[in-house]
Amino acid sequence: MVASLLLDQDGTDVVAPGASTALPRLLPRTGLPGPVGLADHLALHACMPHVGRGGASRGEMITLVEDSGLSGRGGACFPTAVKLAAVARQPGAPIVIANGTEGEPASSKDKVLMATSPHLVLDGAVFAALAVGATEAVIVCHPAVRPIVEDAIRERKAVRLDTVRLGAVDAAERFVAGEASAVVHWLEKGQPIPTPTPPRLSEAGLHGRPTLVQNVETLAQLALIARYGARWYRAVGTQTEPGSMLVTVIGAVRRPGVDEVAIGTRIASVLDGAGGVSSPPQAFLLGGYFGTWTGYWDALDRPLSQAGLAPLGAAPGAGLVAVLPSDACGLVETARVARYLASESAGQCGPCVFGLPAISSELESLASGGPCDTDRLERWLGQVDGRGACRHPDGVVRMVRSALVTFRSELDRHRRGLCCSPGGAPILPVPTA
């Protein structure tokens, strides 16, 4: 099956069953509830060509991923091929961790993907394992979807589909639990907390082994690239950010939920896919709770891509598009999310442990029309930014700073003791303790 890989590199399209540039690619097109079973999965996509005897070499597999331009879908958009190569060149027995933790309360895309297309995720885990020379892969799943993933693994074992050993375990249900080193620490010690760098996980991760931690959507994309090639993958998306991405659209839209769009799709079109706005909108939170608030009209015509959102200081992140209606208060939403994120600190680093609650209290006072020392708030944001072992404090600072800019006219009203929308229903979900 090396032939198909070489053909693709020569520039000839690889036509395989099910290959199409139409969307969705990852999510099933049937619209039927429940997961796509193994028989249907293989009927649609066939087996992965690079797997098994006589398959492509590890170097060829990684080159294929490099040619595709695939980047990580956990939020950081890191080039997948670089990550694969970093693990592949290490001595020792590597391991692959498929990260389906999705600790972000507003995001559902990884859960929906695993619940509907578990075999694409598993295929991708197998492909990644073979590419880095690993013989096992652990799927860390949100508990809501673990039974589905386990059923899928059983289906594959029954027909001896894989040469890679697959297993599924529950993810920890915390915000920080999805951070790569926290996933490793969770598997190793039962504590979902980030660990310091160095060492890099690619050098010494789970039990000291070279470890690849890859988001489940990234792996599902790999499963399709393995079959249909880099050119096919690049047929949608932009030149520099090719492919499709999963998005979670919530807030003031008629049909909130998960969708798959080409990277670079105008945000207005993303909203159309969710049935359009359901009430007059005022702002977006883009990327996730570590993301960026923007004015509604500022972002509406921007492409959903890194390049498209950079002028707004925003990024697609983990694919969250939250629409804030004009009868909600952005400061109230920000204060509630900041308090939740403060409570979700792993509790290891002083500036995060003390700084985030202090910032939250200041925001709560501001949100309720009480006194707020904005100079002190700015100083605290500066003192917390970049000062943890992980990016948790940085993410909170990014979100809060963008709120102070986006909702500045609201801020002035609050300082005069007025709030445009006291007591409205919360827009951004926060788990109750």
Instruction: Pick the stretch among 134-142, 155-163, 312-320, 384-392 that binds other proteins (CB under 8 A).
Output: 384-392
Does residue 379 touch other proteins according to CB under 8 A? yes
Structure tokens of 265?
């799709």
Does residue 361 touch other proteins according to CB under 8 A? no
Does residue 9 touch other proteins according to CB under 8 A? no
Q: What's the CA gap between 96 and 202, in Å, rounded?
A: 10
H/E stretch holding 323 reads strand 320-325
Does residue 387 touch other proteins according to CB under 8 A? yes
Does residue 266 touch other proteins according to CB under 8 A? no
Does residue 350 touch other proteins according to CB under 8 A? yes
> Which sign, positive or negative, has the C-alpha torsion 377, 383, 386, 392?
negative
Structure tokens of 304?
């959903």
Q: What's the CA gap between 51 and 161, in Å, rounded?
A: 10
Q: What's the CA gap between 308 and 316, in Å, rounded?
A: 9
Q: Distance between alpha carbon 391 and the CA centroid of its chain, in Å?
A: 15
Residue nearer to other proteins on the CB measure, 303 or 388: 388
Does residue 431 touch other proteins according to CB under 8 A? no
Helix axes 350-367, 374-384, angle to 10 degrees: 150
Q: What's the CA gap between 69 and 114, in Å, rounded?
A: 23
Instruction: Pick the stretch among 9-17, 101-109, 189-197, 288-296 that binds other proteins (CB under 8 A).
Output: 189-197
Q: Distance between alpha carbon 209 and the CA centroid of its chain, in Å?
A: 24
Instruction: Pick the stretch among 9-17, 182-190, 215-223, 381-389 that binds other proteins (CB under 8 A).
Output: 381-389
Query: What's the start-to-end Cα distance of the chain, in Å?
Result: 52
Does residue 371 touch other proteins according to CB under 8 A? no
Q: What's the CA gap between 213 and 204, in Å, rounded?
A: 12
Does residue 365 touch other proteins according to CB under 8 A? no
Least separation in angstroms between CB 357 and other proteins: 10
Q: What are residue 283's DSSP bridge partners?
A: 295, 324
Does residue 78 touch other proteins according to CB under 8 A? no
Instruction: Pick the stretch among 265-273, 309-317, 345-353, 420-428 that binds other proteins (CB under 8 A).
Output: 345-353
Least separation in angstroms between CB 344 and other proteins: 17
Does residue 374 touch other proteins according to CB under 8 A? no
Least separation in angstroms between CB 233 and other proteins: 31
The four Cα atoms 193, 346, 100, 105 give a dihedral, to 10 degrees, of: 170
Q: Which residues 6+ apart lie within 8 Å of 299 measured at CB?
A: 267, 284, 286, 309, 312, 314
> Which sign, positive or negative, has the C-alpha torsion 267, 272, 274, 278?
positive
Does residue 196 touch other proteins according to CB under 8 A? yes
Does residue 199 touch other proteins according to CB under 8 A? no
The four Cα atoms 157, 172, 84, 106 give a dihedral, to 10 degrees, of: 110
Does residue 358 touch other proteins according to CB under 8 A? yes
H/E stretch holding 137 reads strand 136-141
Does residue 348 touch other proteins according to CB under 8 A? yes
Does residue 342 touch other proteins according to CB under 8 A? no
Report the residue from 5, 182, 274, 349 that binds other proteins according to the rule CB under 8 A: 349
Residue nearer to other proteins on the CB measure, 154 or 379: 379
Residue nearer to other proteins on the CB measure, 254 or 376: 376
Instruction: Pick the stretch among 10-18, 253-261, 380-388, 405-413 that binds other proteins (CB under 8 A).
Output: 380-388
Residue nearer to other proteins on the CB measure, 79 or 351: 351
Does residue 52 touch other proteins according to CB under 8 A? no
Do residues 407 and 332 make contact, with C-beta atoms less than 8 angstroms apart?
A: no
Q: What's the CA gap between 239 and 338, in Å, rounded?
A: 36
Report the residue from 351, 369, 424, 429 that binds other proteins according to the rule CB under 8 A: 351
Report the residue from 11, 31, 198, 371 that binds other proteins according to the rule CB under 8 A: 198
The number of CA neighbours under 13 Å toward the Cβ of 371 is 2
Report the residue from 210, 229, 388, 395 that binds other proteins according to the rule CB under 8 A: 388
Number of helices followed by number of strands (H, E) in the chain = 17, 9
Does residue 355 touch other proteins according to CB under 8 A? yes
How many residues of this chain interact with other proteins, rule: CB under 8 A? 19
Does residue 370 touch other proteins according to CB under 8 A? no
Contacts with other proteins by CB under 8 A lie at 195-198, 348-352, 354-355, 358, 379-380, 383, 386-389
